[in-house]
């Protein structure tokens, strides 16, 4: 395992890293230390190594054109509006509540990421620290890095919608992955910023759904069935039992 080797002196560590992963970042040295400090250094250094890999090495001119739109909200405005209209048409009153819930989910996730996590952690973006970061769009935001608001908002939205439209996940999940990946590929976030945003977003999406399921839908007589219960109702065993 690599982890025990990491918690040693800097010279030994540097030698071992070059032997094991020197091809990833030439001259890259992880920090030494002991205990919790060593573990934190290892996580941060691994985060930087992954950024270097995804932003600087695993690149291609096609990706330089294909990836940026996934970070541009303006590109997705019209598809999003069409999606919301279809939800309302399909689900009627329930659809209106789903759209309202989705809006509240995004407001919550944006506030938690921008006003809470970014202010608490205050992590500097990689494009302000590392000269080797490749900025495809030539712009490095001044706001803190952790958590990625793009990742937080997209995961929060997908988590909330997945409770109502689980079959949409085959489209929504790849979209979320591409949005998160775009933040790293563009050089404006570390992978850990995206991962943390995904966890935060999932929590926000679940929280809003829980509130709507427990307190909003019951008041107007709308039953919200889980995906599991729908599968059980439609299963052959369930149908035979009901017969």
Task: Please name the fold of domain 63-230.
Answer: Vanadium-containing Chloroperoxidase; domain 2 (1.10.606)
Backbone φ and ψ of 9, nearest 5°: -65, 160
pLDDT above 80 (res 171): yes
- Output the pLDDT for position 23: 43
pLDDT above 70 (res 95): yes
Q: What is the pLDDT of residues 78-94, one digit of tens each?
A: 999 999 999 999 999 99
Measuring CA to CA, how many Å separate 18 from each of 4, 47, 114?
16, 17, 37
**Could you give the angle at which helices 149-162 and 93-111 cross, rounded to 10 degrees?**
150
- Find all residues with CB under 8 Å of 14, minimum gap 6, and list them: 29, 30
DSSP state of 148: P
Mean pLDDT, to the nearest integer, of 112-129? 96
Length of the chain: 243
- Tokens describing residue 130: 């590392």
pLDDT above 90 (res 185): yes
| Contact criterion met (CB below 8 Å) for 189 and 148 | yes
Who has greater pLDDT, 132 or 5?
Answer: 132
Residue 48 CB coordination number (10 Å): 19
The confidence band for 223, taking pLDDT boundaries of 50, 70 and 90, is confident
* Rounded Cα gap, residues 8 and 38, in angstroms: 9
Mean pLDDT, to the nearest integer, of 215-229? 75
Place of tokens 């935060």: 200
Domain boundaries, the chain: 3-58, 63-230
Please state which of the ranges 33-42, 77-86, 199-208 shows the lowest mean pLDDT.
33-42
* Rounded Cα gap, residues 149 and 46, in angstroms: 22
The confidence band for 241, taking pLDDT boundaries of 50, 70 and 90, is very low
* Rounded Cα gap, residues 207 and 236, in angstroms: 33
Please state which of the ranges 13-17, 130-134, 178-182 shows the lowest mean pLDDT.
13-17
Mean pLDDT, to the nearest integer, of 162-183? 95
Mean pLDDT, to the nearest integer, of 207-230? 81
Mean pLDDT, to the nearest integer, of 203-221? 94
Candidates 9, 32, 6; CA nearest to 20 is 6
- Find all residues with CB under 8 Å of 60, minimum gap 6, and list them: none
* CB-count burial class (<10 Å; 0-12, 13-18, 19+) for 204: buried
Mean pLDDT, to the nearest integer, of 21-42? 54
pLDDT above 60 (res 142): yes
pLDDT above 70 (res 159): yes
pLDDT above 60 (res 243): no
SS (H, E, C) 25-38: CCCCCCCCCCHHHH
* pTM confidence score: 0.80
Mean pLDDT, to the nearest integer, of 180-188? 97
pLDDT above 70 (res 62): yes
């Amino acid at each position: 395992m690599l982890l025990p080797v990491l918690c040693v002196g800097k010279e030994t560590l540097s030698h071992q890293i070059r032997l094991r992963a020197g091809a990833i970042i030439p001259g890259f040295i992880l920090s030494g230390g002991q205990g919790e400090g060593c573990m934190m250094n290892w996580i941060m250094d691994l985060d930087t190594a992954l950024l270097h890999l995804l932003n600087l090495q695993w690149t291609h001119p096609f990706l330089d054109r294909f990836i940026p739109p996934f970070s541009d909200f303006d590109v997705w405005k019209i598809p999003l509006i069409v999606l919301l209209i279809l939800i309302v048409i399909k689900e009627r009153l329930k659809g209106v509540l789903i759209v309202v819930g989705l809006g509240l989910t995004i407001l919550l996730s944006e506030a938690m990421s921008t006003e809470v996590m970014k202010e608490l952690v205050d992590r500097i973006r990689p494009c302000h620290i590392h000269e080797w970061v490749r900025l495809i769009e030539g712009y490095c935001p001044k706001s803190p890095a952790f958590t990625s608001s793009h990742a937080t908002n997209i995961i929060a939205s997908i988590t909330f919608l997945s409770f109502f439209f689980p079959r949409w996940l085959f489209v929504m999940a790849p979209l979320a992955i591409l949005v998160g990946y775009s933040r790293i590929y563009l050089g404006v976030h570390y992978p850990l910023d995206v991962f943390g945003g995904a966890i935060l977003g999932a929590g926000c999406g679940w929280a809003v759904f829980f509130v709507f399921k427990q307190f909003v839908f019951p008041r107007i007589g709308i039953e919200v069935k889980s995906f599991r219960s729908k599968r059980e109702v439609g299963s052959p065993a369930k149908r035979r039992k009901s017969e």
